[in-house]
Every structure is written in C-alpha cells, then in structure tokens.
Amino acid sequence: MHFTHDGKTYEYTIVRKRIKNIILHVRADGTVYVSAPPAAPESVIHAFVTDNAGRLVQQIAQNQKHREDAPDYADGSALLHLGETITLHWSERPCPTRLEQDVLTVFARSPEEARLAHRRWLIDECVALYRQINREVYTAYTEAGYRVPLARIEIKEMKSRWGSCTAKTGRISMNFRLMQYPIGCVYAVFYHEYAHFMHLDHSADFYAVLRGVFPEYDRWDAILNHK
C-alpha cells in the first residue's frame, strides 16, 4: 500500500491486530506500519493514513535526520553531551570510561564496543543528574509555597515527549535524550512536569506557576522546541 504527500509517494504496511482503533507507526528506519482491527476495510485504513499524511512525512523526516546525526563511534568522533561537543577517544588498554575536559575515554576495539561503553557511562551520568535535579526542583517548589511530592523518576527514551507527569502516583518520566541538550533544558522539563502537580493542563494558571518558580523556562524550552 502507498500514500502520496506533496507529490511524493510513500509505502506503508498494514498489520492486523486485535485492537479497536487504527494506529500509525513510523519506525526508526523510516518505514511506516499501520496497526488495524481485523475487520477494518482497507479503504477506511487508507483514508486514515491519507488524513495523517503530513504528520507521517514529518516523522519520517525527523527519523532520517536522527540517523544522519547519529555518531559513528569511531575513534575521534564527536558526541553531544549536555549541549557541548566532546571527543570520543578509544583506549587500547582496559580502563574505566571517564570524561576529562572535553575528551571521553573508553576502552574499545570497535565502534560497537565504543557505543556500548558510552551508553553505560551515559546511563550512570543520567541517573545521578536526574536525581540531583529532581531534588533541587522539588525544593524550589516547596520553598515557593507549593505542596508537591518528591517525584519518583522514571527514565525513558521517548520520541515525541521530553517528559510526562502522572500526578496521581507522583511519578515523572524523563527523556534520556535530554542528556544531549544544555543542562538548562533538563531543568526546564523538570520544572514543567512538577507544575503539573498543581495543574494537569497547560492553562494560563499552569504557566503562571511554572514561570513564577523558574523564570528562565521560555529560554530553554525554545531550544527543545527547535530541535
């Protein structure tokens, strides 16, 4: 099956599942899959795909850009870490992964070993940083007079969100990919999600709380919205 947008044709595959609604998926490699109920006519599925063609094409383009921007993890390649460019260095001898100034040294004999070493190091850095910022943001809200829980943090790799808040359970999910962005962006997402403990929507009252506690919010949010 295929659909057309702005004169260009895109292929998609239909996968029948025991679900009630039609769901669109754009995979990391840019392929489009459509999950659909067993009884849904192909004409209805195609109409749904066509109605959402603009969104699908935008996601396909974003995925392609992510693939093009992805580091190859060769010795000397550049990585983004908290908004700064650091250089990857392979060590010939076993050593702990360490960042000194702007050089990240890993023990690796292949790009895949370097990628895995970098990811293990980055996960540890992410957990430590998010715990620290979570405590700081919680303190900022309580000192401002708001009654908020100390959130339980769940770290995920999300495609369409930087964070999410489940106010009922006191849980905040944070995107692992934020580790590529300036630390101010990480703070902005934490402050944003904490504001949802007071307001579940994005109303004027929500932003009044958010900007009152974190006046620099718009500066850092603008960076994330122009990714």
Q: What is the pLDDT along the chain (227 residues), one digit of tens a residue?
A: 999 999 999 999 999 999 989 999 988 778 999 999 999 999 999 999 999 999 999 888 876 766 656 789 999 999 999 999 999 999 999 999 999 999 999 999 999 999 999 999 999 999 999 999 999 999 999 999 999 999 999 999 988 799 999 999 999 999 999 999 999 999 999 999 999 999 999 999 999 999 999 999 999 999 998 65
Task: Answer whether 0.75 is exceeded by the pTM.
Answer: no
Interior CA angle at 147 toward 143 and 153, to 5°?
95
Whether 35 and 99 share a structural domain: no
- The pair of three-digit structure tokens given for residue 35, joined into one six-digit string: 């999950």
How much is the pLDDT for 71? 85
Query: Which pLDDT score is estimated for 226?
Result: 67
Q: Do the beta carbons of residue 103 and residue 87 sit within 8 Å? A: yes
Instruction: Provide φ and ψ at 131, rounded to 5°.
Output: -65, -45
Residues 156 and 189 in one domain: yes
Co-location of 139 and 218 in the same domain: yes
- Do 47 and 99 share a structural domain? no
Torsion angles phi and psi, residue 3, rounded to 5: -135, 160
Buried b (16+ CB within 10 A) or exposed e, 17-37: eeeeebebebeeeeebebbbe
The answer on 90 and 147 residing in a single domain is: no
Half-sphere exposure of 42 (CA within 13 A, CB side): 7
**Distance separating alpha carbons of residues 31 and 28, to the nearest angstrom:** 7
Q: At what angle do helices 217-224 and 204-213 cross, to 10 degrees?
A: 110
The whole-angstrom separation of Cα 70 and Cα 158 is 16
Q: What is the rounded CA–CA span in Å between residue 134 and residue 150? A: 8
- Give me the pLDDT at residue 66, please: 65
CA end-to-end span of the chain, whole Å? 31
Tokens of 61: 């383009």
Q: Do residues 130 and 118 both lie within one domain?
A: no
Per-residue model confidence (pLDDT) at position 117 = 97
88 and 157 housed in the same domain: no
142 and 108 in one domain? Answer: no
* The total number of structural domains that make up the chain: 3
pLDDT of residue 64: 73
Q: What is the pLDDT of residue 76?
A: 95
Nearest Cα residue to 178 out of 153, 207, 152, 143: 153
What are residue 11's DSSP bridge partners?
2
Same domain, 154 and 188: yes
